[in-house]
Amino acid sequence: MTETPRSGGHARPAVTVGMPVYNGERFLRQALDCWMAQDFTNYRLIISDDASSDSTPQICREYATRDHRVRYLRSDRNQGAVWNFNYLYSLADAEFFAWAAQDDYWEPTFLRKCVELLRGNPDAAGAHTRIRRITADGTTYAGPFGGYVAIQDDAAERFRTVLSDWLWCFAHYGVWRTETIRPTRLYRKVYGPDHVFVAEAVLYGKVFEVPEVLWAHRTCNPQETNEEYVERVRRGLEPHSKPGSYRYPFAALTWEHLRTALTAPFPFSTRCRLVWSVLSRFWIHQAVIAVVRRKALRMFGEARVERVIRWLRRQGWYRRWRGVPEGL
């Protein structure tokens, strides 16, 4: 790694913000400006550049030179998103830690309100805000959505809450208590590493939500198919892997959740409950949905199936069946 020298300001911050970047020139300035505008200023922003080939290095060096809170590191070779996320956490030297995407948008109060919520709840592992989804030009096209509100005293119940739904796993971009999440394995090279991380993190502490929309998640192609998304994830997680190598992504994701359940530092009876949650609330439900959807598409066609799905969602059927918490 190479580092851009910083000037002044070496006091320990309250929050370490880690921003993994790779060829992010299109939205990087806007993302960095959001952090410069935060009304909670006691943080350090560490940017880890995974060997970008565009103007990302020049942009990052500009901000690092301009503001002593910004630290810029650059890898000599592309090692993938999982390596970058985990590497940034290894550099955390503050009470709290947050990952920040290179193309998202945050309101000025985002960091302060998450930190206040964590400080007001010593048993919390993390805190996040509600979110909206935006297109490349910043237009809101979905939301607002909530994250996971996992505030039960029972760790197994918190784990079950996260496994109740995995399509909107935005909680990982909240603020985390650095030492509380240290026992986790952080990000893993699997489809849905954010969901795996959050499910493991709630075993060690509660997760709270700020009931305001203070973060916007950018999706440059809202019409992307699931197959295209899987391939994009593959390139990000393992940039040197072959196309199509993620042939069974959901099975791999389920196995990672089972590994979490089987190795959790709890009594055998609690680990059995965790395993049952993976099988009953996650694998079976998703497998049933996949099979029924595939058969319905063959029998009735995509247009009719989509109309039925929209109707079922309006009736709240999916949420009741899965036990999805309110707000998600």
pLDDT digits (tens, 9 = 90+) for 132-173: 989 888 888 887 888 889 999 999 999 999 988 766 688 999
Q: Is the dihedral of CA 52, 55, 56, 57 positive or negative?
A: positive
Backbone angles phi, psi at 254, to 5 degrees: -60, -40
Q: Residue 165's pLDDT is what?
A: 73
- By the 8 A CB rule, do 22 and 48 touch? no
Question: Is residue 234 predicted with pLDDT exceeding 80?
Answer: no
Region of 77 on the Ramachandran plot (φ > 0 left; ψ -120 to 50 alpha; else beta): beta
**Average pLDDT score, the chain:** 87
- By the 8 A CB rule, do 6 and 70 touch? yes
- By the 8 A CB rule, do 71 and 6 touch? yes
Question: Is residue 288 predicted with pLDDT exceeding 80?
Answer: no
Q: What is the pLDDT of residues 12-48, one digit of tens each?
A: 899 999 999 999 999 999 999 999 999 999 999 999 9
Distances in whole angstroms, Cα of residue 84 to Cα of each of 76, 100, 187, 220, 285: 12, 12, 9, 21, 32
Q: Residue 226's pLDDT is what?
A: 64
- By the 8 A CB rule, do 246 and 230 touch? yes
Q: Residue 123's pLDDT is what?
A: 97
Q: What is the pLDDT of residues 306-319, one digit of tens each?
A: 787 777 766 665 55
Q: In CATH, what number does 2-218 get?
A: 3.90.550.10
| Mean pLDDT, residues 279-285 | 76
Tokens 């993994």 locate to 20
In the chain, pLDDT over 90 holds for what percent of residues? 59
Q: Residue 221's pLDDT is what?
A: 64
| Mean pLDDT, residues 200-204 | 97
Q: Label residue 323 by pLDDT band (50, 70, 90).
A: low
Q: Residue 328's pLDDT is what?
A: 44
Q: Residue 138's pLDDT is what?
A: 85
255 against 220, higher pLDDT? 255
In the chain, pLDDT over 70 holds for what percent of residues? 85
Q: Residue 70's pLDDT is what?
A: 98
| Mean pLDDT, residues 296-303 | 82
Q: Residue 139's pLDDT is what?
A: 87
DSSP state of 227: H
- How many Å apart are CA 186 and CA 298, to the nearest integer? 39
pTM (2 decimals)? 0.84
Q: What is the pLDDT of residues 42-84, one digit of tens each?
A: 999 999 999 999 999 999 999 999 999 999 999 999 999 999 9
Q: Residue 327's pLDDT is what?
A: 46
Q: Which helix (H) or strand (E) holds 96?
A: strand 96-99
Q: What is the pLDDT of residues 118-133, one digit of tens each?
A: 999 999 999 999 999 8
Domain ranges within the chain, ordered by starting residue: 2-218
